[in-house]
Amino acid sequence: MNRTEDRPVSVVDEHAHAWSAKTARARFREGLAGPTAGVAAGNTQANLIAVPADWAYDMLLFCQRNPKPCPVLDVTDAGATATVLAQGADLRTDLPRYRVWQDGELVEEPTDVRAHWRDDLVSFLLGCSFTFEWALAGAGVPIRHVEQGRNVPMYVTGRQCRPAGRLRGPMVVSMRPVPPEHLRAAIRESSLLPAVHGGPVHCGDPAALGIEDLGRPDFGDPVDAAPDDIPVFWACGVTPQAAVMASRPPFAITHAPGQMFLTDARDEQYRVVGVD
């Protein structure tokens, strides 16, 4: 059953932070869709990209050469619909919304990809910056897009990733406005979670990344910043989608930007020991 035509329901809910990852996946399987920032507190979120097996080595090499935007948490066998990151989960149904690509073109954004799944697809689950937002919030850093009920803004930069085989493309970043007094904490807390992108790639002037207008993100929603907020940019797991658009593989399935896979893994599993 393809639910593409269903009216999406936002997962922004005052109780969503208290859901278990299993509950969140069940809600998504039933058709709930929307950004997953603030959902299932303490559970690691992941980006998804599934490519045909004959492109899987190129994707693995692309991730290995570009670990900041593409930190690998799991890679499945060809055709597998399960992952060790979430017991009983189905990668075809348990994300809020997907994107289906043919020859580098976006052709559909369904909430269920069983009708599109192929036995030769190898799935890559990559770390997501939504994971470290709990650490930022715990350190007192305001998360503007969560406060405003919006998806995080994401931008295609002028920085090219290191090519790998047939794959090439620009790095994508997510942006969070951070008050100056909280900048050190934002850098520190995110840097302690390198498996979910780690510390920022840039703070300050967006033009340094080739971004012309923060009010017009390439993915997600614009957010309202306070007058003194500093734009802080983290490498983003939408980068493989930019590589799909640039490299035009014959087929791919990805998550919709900001609508992630909720794993059973806990954030602390990926936290490294830091020194102030």
Please indicate, yes or no, if residue 2 is contained in any of the structural domains: no
pLDDT band at 38 (very low <50, low <70, confident <90, very high): confident
Please indicate, yes or no, if residue 1 is contained in any of the structural domains: no
- Residue 264 pLDDT more than 50? yes
- Higher-confidence residue of 189 and 7: namely 189
- Cβ atoms of residues 37 and 146 within 8 Å: yes
Dihedral sign of CA atoms 145, 151, 156, 160 in order: positive
Specify the number of domains making up the chain.
1
Q: What is the CATH number of the domain that holds 52?
A: 3.30.2040.10
Helix axes 53-65, 239-247, angle to 10 degrees: 130
Judge if pTM exceeds 0.85: yes
- Residue 248 pLDDT more than 90? yes
- Residue 31 pLDDT more than 60? yes
What pLDDT digit, counting tens, does each position of 161-201 carry?
999 999 999 999 999 999 999 999 999 999 999 999 999 99
The average pLDDT across 238-242 equals 98
- Residue 10 pLDDT more than 80? no
User: If residue 75 lies in a helix (H) or strand (E), which one and from where to where?
Assistant: strand 72-75
Largest distance between two CA atoms of the chain = 51
What pLDDT digit, counting tens, does each position of 122-165 carry?
999 999 999 999 999 999 999 999 999 899 999 999 999 999 99
Instruction: Write the DSSP symbol of residue 83.
Output: B
- What residue type is 32 in one-letter code? L
pLDDT band at 274 (very low <50, low <70, confident <90, very high): low
- Higher-confidence residue of 258 and 6: namely 258
Please indicate, yes or no, if residue 257 is contained in any of the structural domains: yes
Domain coverage including residue 197: 7-276
